[in-house]
Amino acid sequence: MEAGGSVTDEAATAPPERADALGITAAGPGDLDDGRDGGAGADDTAVPGTLRIALTSLDLGGDVVFITNRDGIILDVNDAFVRVTGYARSEAIGATPKLLSSGYQDRAFYRDLWDTILRGEVWEGQLIDRRRDGLLRTHRATISPVLDESGQITHFVAVERDITGELGRHLATGSTGLLHTDLRANCSYADGRAAALFGRPPSELLGPGLLAALVPEDGQEVREVIGMAVDLGREHRLDVRTVRGRWLHLEAAPLTVASGNVIGATLTVEDVSEQVATHRELARRDAFVESVLNALEDGVAVIGPDGCVLAVSRAWREVADAADDPLLRVRVGEDLLAHARRVAADGDDRARMLLEDLQLVLGGIGRGRRRDRRIRVSQLGWEEGGAVLRLA
């Protein structure tokens, strides 16, 4: 837990030393003070006996636990805190959780945290802290208010489970990377594969670094997709571009803790640059074919071996619109064989003859007999087959 954000009306107008005790000013990466408070609450070291018992018992599970007063001043820590963070008890007691700040969570994040616990509610989330030796650690935290007999908040208990190692054991293999974000799309974890795909160290993806690594419009789309995954509780996918020109495929799913609460999103990421390049080349070729067809004065439709319309020239569309002919009104992607059957079922003999000719040509039996003088059917000179329709 790091105190942060404006939590009360008093805090909004607090002097600098009081504001720092509440964590209103957040340290940035590499800009860490010792987190100690010289103002109100530093001499309040009373920890109820029941909390001390909890501190000892929770230590058996290896979780980091510390207790603060209402103002966020650390009153006691367990042995796991010392072991995991590298700070001695004497360094932590009397300080604020800002002692552990990595700077990767923003003011809005901590404002939401404080608003939650000051309402008497339990806060759950995933954070990035910095150990005494400067190394980053990712952990999931539960911060619970402690109330006195009158219902007033007197203390907060933070329980943190380090998941850096756990995530390391579940590193995605092959071409897929793994990212975690909070509810505001700030990155709280990036594995080595994800970092390689983005072309930067994992630490540069943390916090706002993930969205900053994408072109601006795609970064905004990722923020929206994470919001949808969190709000709707299901997976969403999209392709995005990094600022270094690589195309990545992201799949966003809700990040849920044991209580069932959603604390952010899990993103899997893989490189799809080759696929995107292939699609672009196919689109370029399709555009070339369309431009050639549109340059022809005759109406032409290209039919695939399965009977679906692959392309239609502008002249064909103009004739179909002018003649108001249902047989000629076909769309790219439409099954022409099925279309001709429907029109023939209404008693159109031309549709029946076109259907017979198409079946001959697509079946490789021979050329169309051209019984309908208006439409000529011929074989498409393509190894997979197909047909070309020309309007007379």
**Per-residue pLDDT tens digits for 6-27:** 233 333 333 333 233 333 233 3
CA dist 124 and 384 (Å) reads 59
The band of 329, judged by pLDDT with boundaries at 50, 70 and 90, is: confident
Lowest-pLDDT range, 9-23, 78-92, 201-215, 237-251? 9-23
Report CA-CA distances (Å) from 281 to 244, 277, 287.
20, 6, 10
Any idea which of 32-36, 197-201, 379-383, 386-390 has the lowest mean pLDDT? 32-36
Mean pLDDT value of segment 84-91: 94
CA dist., res. 282 & res. 319, Å (int):
28
Q: Please, which residues have CB within 8 angstroms of residue 194's CB and are 6 or more apart in sequence?
A: 172, 177, 178, 179, 202, 205, 267, 269
- What is the mean predicted confidence (pLDDT) over 184-211? 92
Please, what is the average pLDDT of the chain? 81
Nearest to 75 by CA among 53, 108, 52, 56: 52
Whether 95 and 37 have beta carbons less than 8 Å apart is answered as yes
H-helix or E-strand spanning residue 158: strand 153-162
Phi, psi of 372 (to 5 degrees): -90, 110
The more confidently predicted of residues 36 and 147 is 147
pLDDT at 349: 87
Q: Which residue has the higher pLDDT, 242 or 320?
A: 242
CA distance 264 to 385: 51
Structure tokens at 54: 């909890």
Residue 38, pLDDT score: 40
Query: In the prediction, which pLDDT does 53 show?
Result: 55
Residues 231 and 253 sit within 8 Å (Cβ to Cβ): no
CA dist 217 and 220 (Å) reads 5
Q: Global pTM? A: 0.60
Distances (CA, A) of 262 to 12, 123, 190: 29, 11, 19
Q: Are 332 and 311 in contact (CB under 8 A)?
A: yes
Distance CA 267, CA 178 (A): 6
Segment 36-41 shows an average pLDDT of 40
**Tokens 């390689």 — which residue?**
196
Q: For the chain, what are the domain ranges?
A: 9-162, 167-271, 278-391
pLDDT-wise least confident of 3-12, 250-259, 286-295 = 3-12
Helix%, strand%, coil% for the chain, nearest 5: 35, 25, 35
CATH architecture of the domain covering 167-271: 2-Layer Sandwich (3.30)
Local structure of residue 259 (DSSP, 8 states): T
The proportion of the chain whose per-residue pLDDT surpasses 70, expressed as a percent, equals 79
Domains 9-162 and 167-271 share a fold: yes
DSSP three-state, residue 67: strand
- Average pLDDT for 25-53: 44
| The CATH homologous superfamily of the domain defined by 9-162 | PAS domain (3.30.450.20)
Question: Which residues, other chains included, contact 390 with Cβ-Cβ below 8 Å and sequence gap of 6+?
Answer: 298, 299, 300, 375, 376, 378
Contacts of 332 (CB under 8 A, 6+ apart): 309, 310, 311, 312
**Domain 278-391 class, CATH top level:** alpha beta
**Tens digit of pLDDT for each residue in 97-114?**
999 998 888 888 899 999
How far apart are alpha carbons 6 and 350 in whole angstroms?
A: 77
CA distance 313 to 326: 17
